[in-house]
Amino acid sequence: MPTPAGTLYRGREGMWSWVAHRVTGVLIFFFLLVHVLDTALVRVSPEAYNAVIGTYQTPIMGLGEAGLVAAIVFHAFNGIRIVLVDFWAKGPKYHKAMLWVVVGLFVVTMAGFLPRHLGNVFGGGH
Amino acid sequence: MTTQSTIPTPRSPYARRKTTRGNYELYSWIFMRASGVVLLVLIFGHLWINLMVGDGVHAIDFGFVAGKWASPFWQIWDLLMLWLAMIHGTNGVRTIVNDYAQRDTTRLVLKGLLYLAFTIVVVLGTLVIFTFNPCPPDAPANLLPSICSTI
């Protein structure tokens, strides 16, 4: 395997999963700040909460929400992988294989979530 | 052989240099893993109830939230999720700021803003969960959860 020049990082599964974990983590954190603030409107009045949550139920926000869930699902499964790398004796040996398990579980979970969610978002309903 | 008594015994245990910092980073590292596993359960449950069951995101309105928080089960679920997620997320962003913000002032300002946001969101969220009234007396009945009509 050729070593990339000029960087301490080696690329490949280990580094890219680490980068993806950081990026998804930051995204989720900023969503969380907004999410607590909008939910706090239930304390103001039912009308105020319904008005704001209504703007969250548009197709564009629905797509954003699908992205948010994708970030959460990856962060969750890769987090379990990190715990296994740290605490399971064979974790470091299988860390690459475990990333592909994470990717597989991610695809299966999103395949279950997306049709249901996008059906709710674009299927009209209300 | 008598001179040997001045040489430290080779079997004396290696003494790691004592730091004054304590084990803060160790506990933070353990917390990230422990809270992460709990958060997986809490957040997947949250997403399942709010997005997968029934009409999903379209069903969310005041009546939906009030109906959930009328039960202590969801109050405690959401309170635990709020605290664990905020500590987990703040600690993660703290690590990232420490890694990339090289100037002392930048680091100080970013972490100051981070801890300010943490305090506001956690205090506000906790107050809302505990002082929330699912059946506000002056609100139109059609916006309220079904439990309000039976009281």
User: pLDDT digit string (tens) for A3-47?
Assistant: 555 556 677 888 999 999 999 999 999 999 999 999 999 999 899
Instruction: Write down the residue that tokens 């405690």 correspond to.
Output: B76
Specify if B8 maps to a domain. Answer: no
Q: Name which of A31, A36, A50 to mutate to probe chain B: the one with the most chain B Cβ atoms within 10 A of its Cβ.
A: A36
Instruction: Write down the residue that tokens 């929400």 correspond to.
Output: A65
Give me the number of domains chain B comprises: 1
Give me the number of domains chain A comprises: 1
Query: What share of chain B in percent tops pLDDT 70?
Result: 90
Q: Which tokens hold the place of B38? A: 């709990």
User: Quick one: B19 exposed, middle or buried, by C-beta within 10 A (0-12, 13-18, 19+)?
Assistant: exposed
Can you tell me the mean pLDDT for B11-27? 77
User: Quick one: A50 exposed, middle or buried, by C-beta within 10 A (0-12, 13-18, 19+)?
Assistant: middle
Q: Chain A: nearest CA to B67, how far in angstroms? A: 12
Specify if A65 maps to a domain. Answer: yes
Which residues on chain A place their C-beta less than 8 Å from a C-beta of chain B?
22, 25-26, 28-29, 32-33, 36-37, 39-40, 42-43, 45-47, 49-50, 53, 56-57, 62, 65, 69, 72, 76, 79-80, 82-83, 86-87, 113, 116-117, 119-121, 125-126
User: Quick one: A83 exposed, middle or buried, by C-beta within 10 A (0-12, 13-18, 19+)?
Assistant: middle
Quick one: which of B90, B92, B151, B93 has its CA closest to B121? B90
Closest residue in A to B119 (Cα) is: A33
Which has the higher per-residue pLDDT, A78 or B140? A78
Instruction: Write down the residue that tokens 């353990």 correspond to.
Output: B30
Alpha-carbon distance values, B66 to B15, B60, B111, B114 (Å): 58, 10, 35, 30
A2 pLDDT band, cuts 50/70/90, is low
pLDDT score of A120: 85
Q: Are A69 and B51 in contact (CB under 8 A)?
A: yes
pLDDT score of B20: 66
Q: What is the CATH number of the domain that holds B82?
A: 1.20.1300.10
- Calculate helix-pair angle for B72-100, B24-47, nearest 10 degrees: 130
Note whether B123 contacts A: Cβ–Cβ < 8 A: no
Q: What is the pTM of this model?
A: 0.86
Specify if A10 maps to a domain. Answer: no
Specify if A7 maps to a domain. Answer: no
pLDDT score of B105: 95
Specify if B51 maps to a domain. Answer: yes
Q: What is the CATH number of the domain that holds A64?
A: 1.20.1300
**Domain of residue A66, residue span:** 19-122
Specify if A95 maps to a domain. Answer: yes
Query: What share of chain A in percent tops pLDDT 70?
Result: 90
Segment B27-73, tens digit of pLDDT? 999 999 999 999 999 999 999 998 888 778 888 889 899 989 989 99
Specify if B129 maps to a domain. Answer: yes
pLDDT score of B147: 81
Specify if B140 maps to a domain. Answer: yes
Specify if A39 maps to a domain. Answer: yes
Q: Chain B: nearest CA to A118, how far in angstroms? A: 10
Interatomic CA distance for residues A125 and B78, integer angstroms: 27
**Domain of residue B104, residue span:** 24-150
- pLDDT higher than threshold 80 for residue B12: no
**CA-CA-CA-CA torsion sign (A74, A75, A77, A78):** positive
Cβ-Cβ contacts under 8 Å, A51 against chain B: none
- pLDDT higher than threshold 90 for residue A123: no
The rounded Cα A55 to chain-centroid distance in angstroms is 22
pLDDT score of B19: 66
Which has the higher per-residue pLDDT, B144 or A75? A75
- Calculate helix-pair angle for B24-47, A59-87, nearest 10 degrees: 140
Q: Are A26 and B114 in contact (CB under 8 A)?
A: no
Specify if B85 maps to a domain. Answer: yes
Specify if A13 maps to a domain. Answer: no
Interatomic CA distance for residues A73 and A106, integer angstroms: 6
Specify if B71 maps to a domain. Answer: yes
- pLDDT higher than threshold 70 for residue A1: no
Quick one: which of A32, A21, A83 has its CA closest to B83? A32
